[in-house]
Amino acid sequence: MRVRPIDEDGLRQVEQWLAADPVGGAIFGGFYGHAVARWTPLLQAPSRHGWITFDETGPIGFIDLEILDDEAEITYYVCPTRRGQGLGRATLGHVIQLSTELGAEQIHASVDPTNDAGLATLRSIAFSEHGTNEFNETEFTLQLNG
């Protein structure tokens, strides 16, 4: 798996994935379902980064990373046709690498409690679980070794 910075074609790909994915669309569609209009302006900030993940067969998903005060806030997505292949774990490997390279000391993630695969993936990589937030999402953190 590799990553490349997200561009307008990648943003349109995100919109297409979420439009065709009832589960992912329900969780992420409000914001990322309109990625061209909503994510593009945010990517102008030096603290905000986006990547498309891909391999030899094509695009896999996306990573959204924002670093504030040495903490990386992450969102990642694997498209439905590529799920169940260990790509979420591989994606998180890139998230950890990119976060470290960008100076983060901690990664924070919030996961919808119905996203069993996402919860299992974060737990398998030793993210610490911290209960639920005000949006009823499960909170996780991972301390990075600088």
Global pTM reads 0.91
**Secondary structure class of 65 (helix, strand, coil):** strand
Closest CA to 141 of 73, 87, 82, 90: 73
pLDDT 10s digit of each residue in the chain, 146 long?
A: 999 999 999 999 999 999 999 888 888 878 898 999 999 999 999 999 999 999 999 999 999 999 999 999 999 999 999 999 999 999 999 999 999 999 999 999 999 998 898 999 999 998 999 999 999 999 999 999 75
Q: What is the C-alpha separation between 60 and 55, in angstroms, rounded?
A: 7
Q: Domain of 63: which CATH number? A: 3.40.630.30
Q: What is the C-alpha separation between 53 and 40, in angstroms, rounded?
A: 17
Domain that holds residue 14: 2-143
**Secondary structure class of 3 (helix, strand, coil):** strand
